[in-house]
């Protein structure tokens, strides 16, 4: 059986780092909005607002990189979980379990379904995976909403007031997305660690039971009393 515990922990760590990067992005967005308001009012130099703008884009790019890294770690772990399940004669599709996480929106359901296949027959309750699925769908909706606002935001900006209002709107949507991502990260961590535990526990218990059976069969017979 392949060792999956390291990948499970790495996936959870990336979930946490991605959430932290979203927190930093929200803080940077708020700082950017405040600095531009100060620059328009003449309280700070224009360069201060430009520096805040650069800081926001830097943290936002870091968040995007961590999201991709989280998807890679999750996909690699899911494939190994599917392979381990196949080794104990559970019908799974390891390649599909990995590729599904890179399919926008629809891939989430397929990825969760492959994990449910892998945990069949090992005493796992599917409610953790279902909660994670629902949370990821909600997160995806908010991400699409944020992207839509980014694409259409420039159309609504006509003057300084509307531009500052747009920056405040970006801060609000970043805060909402941060909260949703934090909830999803917690539910995802619970689901990943539980799935990894139950899938890995089955083979270990079977191995321990086999060792006990072998030990019982090879244990030397008690000596026969004299005169028996």
7-26 confidence digits (pLDDT tens):
999 999 999 999 999 999 99
Between these two residues, 211 and 3, which has the higher pLDDT value? Answer: 3
Span 37-42, average pLDDT: 88
Q: Looking at the domain assignment, is residue 64 inside a domain?
A: yes
- pTM (predicted TM-score): 0.81
DSSP 39: H
Q: Looking at the domain assignment, is residue 222 inside a domain?
A: no
* Structural domain range at position 176: 5-213
Q: Looking at the domain assignment, is residue 221 inside a domain?
A: no
Task: List Cβ neighbours of 14 (8 Å cut-off, separation of 6 or more).
Answer: 66, 69, 70, 73, 74
State how many domains the chain has: 1
pLDDT at 178 > cutoff 80: yes
Q: Looking at the domain assignment, is residue 223 inside a domain?
A: no
DSSP 132-153: HHHHHHHHHHHHHHHHHHHHHH
State pLDDT tens for residues 190-227.
999 998 988 877 544 444 333 333 333 433 444 544 54
Q: Looking at the domain assignment, is residue 65 inside a domain?
A: yes
- What pLDDT was estimated at residue 74? 95
Q: Looking at the domain assignment, is residue 34 inside a domain?
A: yes
Q: In 10 A of CB 115, how many CB atoms?
A: 28
Q: Looking at the domain assignment, is residue 219 inside a domain?
A: no
- What pLDDT was estimated at residue 76? 95
Q: Looking at the domain assignment, is residue 57 inside a domain?
A: yes
């Amino acid at each position: 059986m392949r060792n999956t515990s390291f990948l499970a922990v790495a996936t959870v760590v990336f979930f946490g780092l991605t959430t932290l990067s979203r927190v930093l992005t929200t803080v940077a967005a708020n700082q950017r909005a405040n600095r531009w308001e100060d620059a328009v009012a003449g309280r700070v130099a224009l360069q201060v607002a430009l520096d805040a703008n650069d800081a926001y884009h830097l943290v936002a790019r870091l968040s995007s990189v961590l999201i991709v890294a989280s998807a890679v770690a999750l996909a690699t772990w899911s494939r190994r979980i599917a392979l381990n399940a196949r080794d104990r004669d559970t019908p799974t599709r390891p390649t599909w379990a990995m590729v599904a996480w890179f399919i926008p929106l629809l891939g989430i359901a397929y990825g969760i379904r492959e994990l449910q296949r892998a945990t069949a027959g090992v005493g796992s309750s599917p409610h953790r995976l279902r909660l994670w699925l629902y949370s990821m769908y909600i997160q995806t909706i908010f991400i699409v909403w944020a992207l839509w606002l980014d694409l259409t935001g420039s159309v609504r900006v006509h003057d300084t007031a509307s531009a500052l209002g747009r920056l405040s709107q970006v801060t609000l949507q970043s805060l909402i997305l941060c909260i949703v991502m934090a909830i999803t990260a917690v539910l995802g961590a619970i689901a990943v660690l539980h799935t990894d535990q139950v899938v890995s526990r089955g083979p270990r218990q079977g191995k321990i039971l086999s060792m006990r059976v072998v030990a019982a069969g090879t244990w030397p017979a008690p000596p026969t009393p004299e005169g028996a």
